[in-house]
Amino acid sequence: MNLSVRVKDILNLFPDAEVSGSSQVEKISGIANLRDAKVGDLSFLGNSKYKNQVQHCRASVILLPQDYSAPPSQNQLFIKINKPSRGLAQLCELLEAKLCPPEKPGVHPTAFVEESAVLEPGVSIGAFTYLGKGAIIGSNGKIGTHCHIGRGSTVGDGSVLHPGVKLLSRCQIGKNVVLNAGVVIGSEGYGFDQTDEGHQKIPHLGIVVVEDGVEIGANTCIDRARFEKTKIGQGSKLDNLVQVGHNVQIGQNCLIVAQVGISGSVIMEDNVIVGGQAGFAGHLKVGKGAKIAGQAGITKDVEPGAFLKGNPALPFHLAQRIAVLQRKLPDLFNRFAQEKFRE
């Protein structure tokens, strides 16, 4: 990583930190893990299992938890803070502003903005982007290149749409939302009636509502509702390649990891965590605070606070016991065959 940030500026980020040691390096030129860091780099201890790597680390500056007691090496600076991982995030925010400065407000000459579209102060519109009739972009909104904002759609203040986002007609994006590259919001729901003549398409007339503070990963697709709305609740974070079906209701502060598939009309309450590649049958309710392990298959309603694993999903500890017993099956069958042979 090629960067340059003064050690003085890093220290200013953490005014309450406990600082020990010293470094002749005035500027940090990279960020690396404890094992690979070299002189001039910054590193950090975010997981206690890597604690023994600190004493061998060559980084010039290391972010550490407050309970770390060993002294720094020569020409090395230790910055002890409450949560090093969170501190690193603060530093990355500072660096992001340097490495990826925001676009200046304005509309790129190659963008096409319909006359009835509304752009509030501070908006930037990237090259080859289209804004449909009646679309509204809130103040300081950032719309990247090659985006499509459909007729009557709204984007709230401070929201960011990265390149290639497709926001189809009449959908509503809240404030400070991040839509990463290739996200599609408001695509047609998957619904067909089976007839003697074949599969009859059911038009979907609803919308998608994405509330404030939501972040959605690259190439995730969220289908519009059949009549009312598909909703992603405030503060929820969806990873890359997630499929959200029509009429799904996702609560606040949910975490949904990559390649999850959520069938139509699922209701997911607040603070649910879903591991990668999990799948949900339609018309289910997932209770508040439930945890779903990766690749789980959810075919029934989930109680609040439940922790499920497996396909079909079972309570986590039961699924773990079954997995252990499955590994013992070959030995069990061998023993059974030997006993049978002796008879």
Q: Does 1 or 11 have the greater pLDDT score?
A: 11
Decide if 21 is inside a domain: yes
Decide if 266 is inside a domain: yes
Would the pLDDT of 59 be above 70? yes
CATH number at residue 19: 3.40.1390.10
Mean local confidence (pLDDT), 55-69: 93
Burial 275-296 (b: 16+ CB within 10 A, else e): bbbbbbeeebbbbbbbbbbebb
Would the pLDDT of 102 be above 90? no
Task: State whether 75 and 211 are in the same domain.
Answer: no
> What pLDDT is recorded for position 193?
87
Task: State whether 183 and 237 are in the same domain.
Answer: yes
Counted residue by residue, the chain has a size of: 343
Identity (one letter) of the amino acid at 158? G
> What pLDDT is recorded for position 80?
95
Least confident interval from 75-89, 190-204, 247-261, 324-338: 324-338
What does the block give as tokens for 198? Answer: 């074949």
pLDDT level of residue 11 (50, 70, 90 thresholds): very high
Task: State whether 176 and 119 are in the same domain.
Answer: yes
Least confident interval from 47-51, 79-83, 321-325: 321-325
> What pLDDT is recorded for position 97?
80
Task: State whether 220 and 178 are in the same domain.
Answer: yes
Among residues 69, 99, 129, the one where a domain terminates is 99
Would the pLDDT of 308 be above 60? yes
Would the pLDDT of 319 be above 90? no
Task: State whether 137 and 247 are in the same domain.
Answer: yes
Instruction: Domain of residue 62: give its range.
Output: 5-99
pLDDT level of residue 342 (50, 70, 90 thresholds): low
> What pLDDT is recorded for position 98?
79
Among residues 68, 99, 130, the one where a domain terminates is 99
Mean local confidence (pLDDT), 77-86: 92
Decide if 264 is inside a domain: yes
Task: Find which of 43-52, 197-206, 264-273 is predicted with most confidence, using mean pLDDT.
Answer: 264-273
> What pLDDT is recorded for position 343?
60
Among residues 99, 128, 143, the one where a domain terminates is 99
Task: State whether 71 and 111 are in the same domain.
Answer: no
> What pLDDT is recorded for position 337?
74
Domain count, the chain: 2
Would the pLDDT of 340 be above 70? no
> What pLDDT is recorded for position 341?
61
Q: Measured between alpha carbons, how far is 201 from 191 in angstroms, rounded to an integer? A: 6
Burial class (CB in 10 A: 0-12, 13-18, 19+), 181: middle
> What pLDDT is recorded for position 273?
98
Task: State whether 186 and 139 are in the same domain.
Answer: yes
Query: ∠ at Cα 264 (136, 251), nearest 5°?
Result: 60
Q: Does 236 or 330 have the greater pLDDT score?
A: 236
Burial class (CB in 10 A: 0-12, 13-18, 19+), 313: buried
pLDDT tens by residue, 208-265: 999 999 999 999 999 999 999 999 999 999 999 999 999 999 999 999 999 999 999 9
What rounded mean pLDDT belongs to the chain? 93
Catalytic residues: 246
Q: Does 328 or 68 have the greater pLDDT score?
A: 68
**CA-to-CA dists, residue 138 to 147, 182, 215, angstroms:** 16, 21, 17
Decide if 78 is inside a domain: yes
Task: State whether 158 and 174 are in the same domain.
Answer: yes
Would the pLDDT of 93 be above 70? yes
> What pLDDT is recorded for position 76?
95
Q: Measured between alpha carbons, how far is 72 from 151 in angstroms, rounded to an integer? A: 59
Mean local confidence (pLDDT), 6-34: 91
> What pLDDT is recorded for position 202?
87
The position carrying tokens 């407050």 is 66
Write the DSSP assignment of 97-157 as a string of letters.
HHHSPPPPSEE-TT-EE-TT-EE-TT-EE-TT-EE-TT-EE-TT-EE-TT-EE-TT-EE-T
